[in-house]
Structure formats: C-alpha cells, structure tokens
C-alpha cells in the first residue's frame, strides 16, 4: 500500500483502542512516516527530526550521550548475540493484567492454558500507568516508582505458572509512565507553565533521551528475571503520539546528534546488552502499521532498527487497527484472514534483509470485538475470526502469536493449531 493512500486512509478511517493504543496513537505512525515519504528530498524541520545538535527548548544544554554506538547492533565477535532461551517453546500466549494475575480470574486463565495448545502468559509487571504491580524490596525502585501490589504474592504466582507449564513473559510499559513523570518531572516533558505534559487521555510520558529512565526500566526487568520470568516484553518503546508537533514547545533534555529514531533504537540495544547475559529474551511491541510504512520519525519508531536488537518482535496487527482499504480490504476488521496475511507479508519485506539478525516474529492478534468502529465496519469476534488469523499466520510460516483482550476474556473452543 503506497504512503499517499495510507495518509488518505488515516484521514478517513478509524482504528481501535486496544493494547492501550488510541486512534491518535496509530494515526501518529502514519503521520510521522508520511513526512519522510512525501518529502524525501526536503530538509526536515527540527520538529520532524527531533534530536540532532539542536539546543534544548528553553536553552537547556544537551545531556551526555548514552553509551551506545549509532546504528550499531549488539554483537559478540561480529555475530548476533545468541538466543538466551534456545529451548523455549513456540510461544502461543495470552495477555494477563496484574489484576487478573493476582485475582480469581487466574483460575480460569490457567484452565484455558491447561486445556488448549496455549502455553504462555504476558503479565503486567509495570503497567500502563507506570505502577510496579507487585511488592518490591528494591529501595531504588520504591523511590523512583510506585509499587501497587495488584499481584499480592508474586512468588506464589510464579510457582503456579511453573506448575501449569506456563512460559512466563513480563510486560514492562517503558516510556508511557505517569507515575514516574509525576514523581520526577525532570525525567518527563514539561510545559512552559512548569507542569508535566499530558496527552488527551491524561497520560504522561517520560523522556527516552534520559539514560536514567533506561536504567530504571531495565532494573525492573532484572528483578523480573530474578523472579523467574523467561522473557521481558517492552511496550510503549516510543515518544508520545504526535510528538513532532510539540517537540520544540516542551522542555526536556536531548542528546546531541541523536534523532528520536536513534535514541529509541539505542534503548532497545542497551536493554539487550544488559539482559542477554542473564539468560532472558528481549521482545518489543510495535504498531502493526510500522511494518507497512517508512520509519515513524515523530514517535521515534523504526521497525527495522528496533528489530535488529531484539530476540522477538511483536507487531500489533489487530485487524480493527487497520482503516478502510488496507491490503485491498474494504473493512479490515471484517476480513481478519486477508488483513493478517497482508500484514505478515509486509513484515517479512521489512525483516528479511536483516538475515541472521532477524528476530522471531510473534504478532499480537485480536480476540475482542471492535464495536467502536461503527455499524457496518466491524464484526463480532469469536472462534472463526481467531482461527482465521492463526491460519493466515501459519500460511506465512509464522507459528508464534499472542492474543489480546483487555479484559482477559478469551474465546473458548478455538483450535490454536489451525
């Protein structure tokens, strides 16, 4: 799909509000990528390029650059780092909120795992608000963040997961973090009146340029490894939606010579450097759109640059998130098979050139009904729709996947080997 058509679809269509990603979020990918595609020979203004040697808004000096090399990947003797979980199963998992993981719903979810081909859970360890979701004795994490023990006994949880043969994945929401921003405004984006910037949903982000933010999130990841998680999944590895429109009006530290795309990619590289020796995989969630458009400069996401430094990439390819006309489908939500097939073809086009650096492709797929799309543009999702998505992936040699349902109510009777 060409970028001009993508821009038109962005204007006319709509996307879902699952996985914490709003309509504005998904549109930001297209808007950010559109500038690069439509005006490739023009010099981009500061608001489109982000980093560089620009002075900080308000005249503040740039920060010291984090210890990463531009466009480099993590290697050992020139080769990609080895898979720290070579014996891991082919993951077929579900999303589990911390509230579900620590509550009565966990019985039902474990029963689903026991009775089906599903074998993994992605559990919130640091959630969308920024809360650390279990009790931690780590003084540094207590000081910077705000533990809320939705998971009352995390060690008991890990024991249950092991008993049921669940491959445990810790989800950590990185740069969307209202808790950290409120406690430490200097790590966030500050408006001219001195208040911390919030998006339309009332959420704040912390600054990807700040190495302290990197260290904080990786410290949470290291604690998750000690608890027994086999994989760390980072989400919201990006700047706020539409950031290019406000990049010069907010006060925040920058790094000289680093674009937003580069700094986000550098964080991923740093995380893998820190976590790989601990024997844990690193995965990143990314917009499904990102596989189909050029780099999203505004929010700092480049599908290929991020993928080069992860063990697993998880594009969020929910059919409801693609607007009218994508993959030659009038209403993508109503044709999950064609939508997933098209998105996987685009994903391979992006990643095949990486060769030995290509990560495992493990998409997030849809197990919810997108009624907000409006009458005539959505269908009720159930057994057939979930199986259609799995079949489309399997035909494209993608054999791992994750199911998303924000309320953790998953369809029964699905053949996950379809």
**pLDDT digit string, tens, across residues 134-172:** 999 999 999 999 999 999 999 999 999 999 999 999 999
Q: What is the pLDDT, as a whole number, of residue 337?
A: 98
**Cα separation of 96 and 26, whole Å?**
23
Q: Point out the residues of the chain with pLDDT beneath 70.
A: 1-78
Of the candidates 327, 43, 246, the one whose C-alpha atom is nearest the C-alpha of residue 35 is 43
Q: What is the pLDDT, as a whole number, of residue 289?
A: 87
First to last CA, the chain: 28
| C-beta of residue 370 within 8 angstroms of C-beta of residue 16 | yes
Q: How many CB atoms lie within 10 A of CB 14?
A: 21
Do β-strands 75-76 and 79-80 pair in parallel, antiparallel, or remain unpaired? antiparallel
pLDDT in tens, 277-289: 999 999 999 999 8
Dihedral over alpha carbons 120, 125, 130, 134 (to 10 degrees): 150
- The model carries a pTM of 0.86
Q: What is the pLDDT, as a whole number, of residue 79?
A: 78
Dihedral over alpha carbons 215, 274, 132, 369 (to 10 degrees): 120
Domains of the chain: 3-323+331-404 (3.20.20.80)
Q: What is the pLDDT, as a whole number, of residue 411?
A: 98
pLDDT in tens, 57-100: 333 333 444 555 445 566 655 678 999 999 999 999 999 999 99
Could you identify the residue written with the tokens 């933010």? 213
Of the candidates 20, 93, 31, 12, the one whose C-alpha atom is nearest the C-alpha of residue 293 is 31
Q: What is the pLDDT, as a whole number, of residue 59?
A: 30
């Amino acid at each position: 799909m060409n970028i001009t058509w993508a821009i038109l679809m962005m204007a006319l269509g709509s996307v879902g509000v699952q996985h914490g990603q709003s309509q504005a979020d998904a549109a930001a990918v297209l808007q950010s990528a559109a500038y690069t595609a439509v005006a490739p020979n023009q010099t981009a203004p500061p608001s489109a390029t982000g980093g560089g040697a620009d002075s900080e808004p308000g005249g503040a000096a740039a920060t010291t650059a984090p210890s990463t090399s531009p466009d480099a990947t993590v290697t050992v003797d020139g080769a990609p780092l080895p898979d720290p979980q070579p014996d891991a199963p082919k993951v077929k998992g579900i999303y589990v909120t911390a509230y579900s993981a620590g509550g009565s719903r966990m019985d039902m979810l474990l029963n689903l795992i026991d009775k089906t081909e599903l074998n993994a859970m992605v559990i919130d360890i640091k959630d969308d608000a920024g809360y650390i979701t279990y009790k931690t004795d780590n003084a540094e994490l207590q000081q910077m963040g705000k533990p809320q023990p939705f998971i009352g006994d995390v060690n008991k949880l890990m024991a249950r997961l092991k008993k049921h043969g669940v491959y445990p994945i810790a989800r950590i929401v990185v740069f969307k973090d209202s808790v950290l921003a409120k406690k430490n405004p200097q790590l966030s984006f500050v408006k001219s009146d001195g208040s911390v910037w919030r998006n339309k949903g009332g959420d704040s982000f912390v600054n990807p340029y700040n190495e302290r933010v990197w260290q904080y999130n990786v410290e949470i990841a290291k604690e998750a490894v000690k608890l027994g998680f086999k994989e760390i999944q980072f989400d919201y590895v990006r700047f706020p939606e539409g950031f290019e429109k406000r990049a010069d009006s907010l006060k925040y530290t920058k790094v000289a010579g680093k674009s937003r795309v580069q700094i986000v990619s550098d964080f991923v590289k740093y995380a893998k450097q820190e976590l790989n020796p601990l024997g844990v995989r690193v995965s990143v969630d990314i917009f499904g759109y990102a596989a189909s458009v050029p780099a999203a400069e505004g929010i700092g996401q480049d599908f290929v640059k991020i993928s080069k430094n992860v063990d697993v990439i998880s594009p969020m390819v929910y059919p409801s998130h693609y607007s009218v006309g994508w993959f030659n489908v009038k209403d993508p939500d109503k044709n999950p098979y064609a939508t997933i097939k098209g998105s996987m073809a685009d994903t391979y086009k992006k990643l095949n050139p990486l060769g030995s650096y290509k990560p495992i492709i493990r998409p997030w797929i849809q197990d919810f009904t997108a009624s907000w799309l409006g009458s005539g543009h959505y269908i009720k999702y159930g057994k057939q729709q979930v199986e259609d998505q799995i079949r489309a992936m399997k035909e494209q040699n993608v054999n791992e996947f994750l199911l998303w349902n924000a309320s953790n109510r998953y369809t029964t009777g699905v053949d996950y080997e379809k």
